[in-house]
Chain A
Amino acid sequence: MISPARAAGRDPRFLAGCLLAIGTMAVALDNAASLALLAALGLGWALAACPGLRALILLAAALGLSAWSLMASQAIFYNHLPRTALFVLAPPDTPLIGTLTGGLAIYREGIVHGAVQSLRLAATLSAGLAAAWTMEPSGLLAGFSSLRLPHALAFCATAAIRFLPVTAEEARIALRAQRMRGLRLGGGLGANAFRALLSIARPVLAASIRRAETAALAAASRGYDPSRRRTSLHPLRMKAWERAILSAALLGAAAVAAAKALYLLYASGLYYHPALAPLYTFTREAI
């Protein structure tokens, strides 16, 4: 019987497959509308899996910051033609900056290009967070094993996820301890922040090594041996709907990747077949 709590966790193979499909499509797609649809799918998944308000704020901050930074950088440094300057920051005759760069401006096409790139990132970031929020750390061990990944790697990944919050809390305490002894974080062009980082790295690393040693001994004392076969209390069984969604996602991703590859072969003059003409048109306009 699968426990109610455990049932909330998805099969890690389903999650890994969905991530692979979304990642493949995020790379293969270029059309803004298709990428927007993919990003909406990823975002919908993340919203459905979101465990609370703090997680939602984290998601919004990550998406907002990545979109802003991509659009801002592309708006200034977009160098394809044609491009339309919306606003001139530094004319070409501006001493130093102007002569070095040939002038700086905000380009409309750059903003659009940045927005498209941020849709790629939004799709993968949202899907990645959704997977992390729905996966049981202990499910990773069974999932990795079923995917024939080495036990040692699977165990390290599981333990790292398990102890991540503890390490984060220790880093917070170490920083507080230094601040109470007079460490200042502000000012100094980041030098103080760097010093603070160094001062917490040693104790946090030492505590992590000590904990890793205990965790390894605790695992060994309960018969864990990376070279031996394990069984599982809850053998992985993908539900019918998970299998259907995963199959559709992987097939869709494979189809998009294949269409894109054929189109690129055609565009570069390496391969052309007249029967594929409608596919080339569809790929150019929709993919």
Chain B
Amino acid sequence: MTPAISWSGVRFRYAGAAREALRGIDLAAREGECVLLTGPTGCGKSTLLKTANGLIPRESAGRLEGRIEIGGRDAASIPSPALRSAVGFLFQNPEDQLLCGRVEDEVAFGPENLAEPPGVIAQRVEEALARASASAKRHSPCAELSGGEKQRVALASALALHPRVLALDEPTSQLDGRASREILRALAAMRGEQGLTLLIAEHRVGRVLPLADRLVVLEEGTIRGVFPRGRFGEAMPLLRELGLEAPGDEFPAPHAAPISIRAEKPALVRFRGLRHRYAKESPPALDDVTAELRAGEILALMGPNGAGKSTLLGLLAGLLRPQEGQIEWFGQVRPRLSLSSLTGKVGFLFQNPDLMLSAGTIRDEVALGPRLLRRPPAEAREAVARALEGVGLAPLAGRNPFSVSRGERLRVALAALLACAPRVLLLDEPTAGLDRGLRQRLLADLRRWVDEAPEERGIVLCTHDTGSALQCADRALVLREGRTAALGPAAGVLAGAGQGALEDLEPAPARMAP
């Protein structure tokens, strides 16, 4: 039987790259099959997916060798519109791939490009939205959708082309637990339907494995192993060897001091009865939230998109003014909290660390904060060296921050904050999109930073990732629709993740089925 898609001896080198991104790929997927591709960051899984619908080499400079066949036809001989129609593609970030103002126009964009008549386009839009469980949003503006809804609209947009193969590049990496489940549910519903072949690249294996018929593990552009359903267990040693998430693995236990000891330490920040709404007619983004961060503590701030996490971080950082309630920083009530009053004492790592990078070299980037704060030169030099060492970036200090990997850019941003010698770090989703190895390293760095000065330092860690919270947080504050859904020791609170009041959270990793 002719495979839906196959790669024979495929090699690819990006223009100007020192080494090949793909090095002799031989792989085939049959009609209706779901193939899960995984591997460490930079292993070539995204590149492999892009060769499937001709984005590589037609839209990327580089040299492709070998043969790719779609339904038995040489992909190189298929005109671009037909190739894009045969192989749909879903990108990682739902925000960047939606091009139109409204959902209906977005889904119609592909069939319009194929010059289909309006009646056919309308029919395809309706079908695609139904298959992606997004019909209810047909007339909504794209900007008003949640992350999960945007990704389902992007999925519908790909399905509207009636592809035989659907390539999905980390479709859940930017989504919270609930949104991930929504998109995986939509994929599960279409798995095997009408012979649609699914190729899913994902480093969070546990999320997608239940859907997969085969697991393909890549490393440095080559296939390290192919494991059919029923033999997934055999892949686990390889996943662990590559520093990837192996379903069923328990995260390292946090080495936190008992809560009873921490409770005696002073609160670094204490907030009571915080309320905030963005417009008079809108529901409160935050409604009567009370908690504290004690010295030596990492407090995990969790909840689905729209739960109020970013609002709370914004209020704590002085980016927003609380409409009701009180914030007490370092024992002092600040009725008019402002950015400048916390500068140098509190560091805020924004969700996209790239927006924090503005200097020509990593060293200059890290040195910027101490210079702006007018620290004495000797003290500033020492702080920069310590921060670079602390996050393992000293060997890269002369490089441009935009020339290093995403994980390294994140650490540059973190080092830039640490060089200002803050007492508290507010971190907004620092582990999103990182593979397990990078995530573990970052969490270990954070834990070490707090434990170096437990009388003075603390972290509020906003995350969707239950595993990360369990690994390094002492306590967890879970928000839902702006209100406190749970607050307490992380292990106790997060044991209930994925069910009851915490159903929006991803279940704890130890409970994932292998």
Contact = CB atoms under 8 A, between A and B. Distances in A.
B482 interface: no
Nearest to A5: B139
B78 to A, nearest CB: 12
Contacts of A221: 53, 55, 84, 88-89, 91, 158
B102 A223 contact: no
A165 B348 contact: no
B192 to A, nearest CB: 23
B442 interface: no
B350 interface: yes
Which secondary structure dominates where chain B touches chain A?
A: helix
A70 to B, nearest CB: 34
A29 to B, nearest CB: 35
A182 B118 contact: no
B121 A231 contact: yes
Interface string A37-69: 000000000000000000000000000000000
A273 interface: no
Contacts of A188: none
Interface string B335-348: 00001101110111
Given A174-B356, A233-B105, A225 B80 contact: yes
A180 B342 contact: yes
B257 interface: no
Contacts of B81: 223, 225, 228
A202 B365 CA distance: 12
Contacts of A178: 356, 358, 372
Interface in A156-205: 158-159, 162, 165-166, 170, 173-174, 176-184, 198-200, 202-204
Given A5-B102, A180-B339, A180-B348, A222 B358 contact: no
A268 interface: no
Contacts of B319: 176
Given A228-B113, A230-B113, A231-B116, A137 B100 contact: yes
Contacts of B158: 221-222
B343 A232 contact: no
Interface string B89-106: 101010111111110111
Interface in B33-86: 50, 53, 55, 58-59, 80-81, 84-85
Interface stretch (A10-18, A93-101, A212-220, A245-253): A212-220
A224 interface: yes
Contacts of B374: 182
Contact size class for B? 35 or more
A235 interface: yes
B369 interface: yes
A211 B352 CA distance: 13
B346 A180 contact: yes
Contact of A223 (B110, B122, B343, B358): B110
Considering residues A136, A200, A223, A229, which has the most beta carbons from chain B within 10 angstroms of its beta carbon?
A: A223
A76 to B, nearest CB: 38
B114 A215 contact: no
Contact of B97 (A179, A200, A215): A215
A170 B339 contact: no
B403 to A, nearest CB: 11
Given A204-B355, A218-B99, A180 B91 contact: no
Contacts of A235: 118
A233 B104 contact: yes
B84 A203 contact: no
Contacts of A179: 339-340, 343
Nearest to B113: A223
Given A6-B139, A222-B113, A222-B157, A174 B358 contact: yes
Considering residues B93, B342, B357, which has the most beta carbons from chain A within 10 angstroms of its beta carbon?
A: B357
Contacts of A173: 350, 352, 355
B420 interface: yes
A173 B111 CA distance: 36
A203 B354 contact: yes
Nearest to A183: B372
B96 A211 contact: yes
A238 interface: no
Contacts of B105: 6, 136, 138, 233
Contacts of A182: 343-344, 369, 372-374, 420
A207 interface: yes
A53 B116 CA distance: 41
Given A222-B110, A222-B161, A138 B101 contact: yes
A165 B142 CA distance: 12
A269 interface: no
B317 interface: yes
A223 B115 CA distance: 10
B108 A233 contact: yes
Nearest to A203: B355
Given A219-B109, A222-B113, A232-B118, 19 more contacts: A4-B139, A5-B141, A6-B139, A162-B100, A174-B355, A179-B339, A181-B368, A183-B372, A198-B358, A203-B355, A207-B355, A210-B354, A215-B97, A215-B99, A217-B50, A221-B84, A221-B89, A231-B117, A232-B121
23 contacts: A3-B102, A5-B140, A162-B100, A173-B350, A176-B350, A177-B356, A180-B343, A180-B348, A199-B358, A200-B358, A203-B357, A219-B99, A221-B91, A222-B89, A222-B157, A223-B80, A223-B161, A225-B113, A231-B111, A231-B116, A232-B121, A233-B118, A233-B125
Closest 9 CB pairs of A and B: A182-B372, A218-B97, A222-B110, A223-B113, A233-B108, A221-B89, A138-B105, A138-B100, A181-B369
Interface of B: 50, 53, 55, 58-59, 80-81, 84-85, 88-89, 91, 93, 95-102, 104-106, 108-118, 121-122, 125, 138-141, 143, 154, 157-158, 161, 317, 319, 339-340, 342-344, 346-348, 350, 352, 354-358, 368-369, 372-374, 402, 416-417, 420
